[in-house]
Amino acid sequence: MTEEGTLAYGTNIDVRSAAGPVGAATPTCQLRDVLDRVGDKWSVLVMALLGDGPRRYSELQRGIEGISQRMLTLTLRSLERDGLVVRTVTPSSPPRVDYSLTPVGRTLSTEVGSLIRWAEAHRDYVAQSRLRYDEQ
Q: d(Cα 124, Cα 87) in Å, to the nearest integer? A: 37
Q: d(Cα 59, Cα 54) in Å, to the nearest integer? A: 10
Q: d(Cα 123, Cα 136) in Å, to the nearest integer? A: 21
Q: d(Cα 113, Cα 109) in Å, to the nearest integer? A: 6
> Could you say which of 56, 86, 102, 113 contacts DNA (CB under 7 A)?
56
Contact flag: residue 123 with DNA (CB under 7 A): no
Contact flag: residue 70 with DNA (CB under 7 A): yes
Q: d(Cα 112, Cα 50) in Å, to the nearest integer? A: 11
Residues lying near a second copy in the complex (CB under 8 A) = 1-11, 13-14, 21-22, 24, 28-31, 33-35, 37-41, 44-45, 48-49, 51-52, 62-66, 80-84, 104, 107-108, 111, 113-120, 122-130, 133-134
Q: Which residues bind DNA (CB under 7 A)?
A: 40-42, 56-59, 66-71, 73-74, 76-77, 87, 94-97
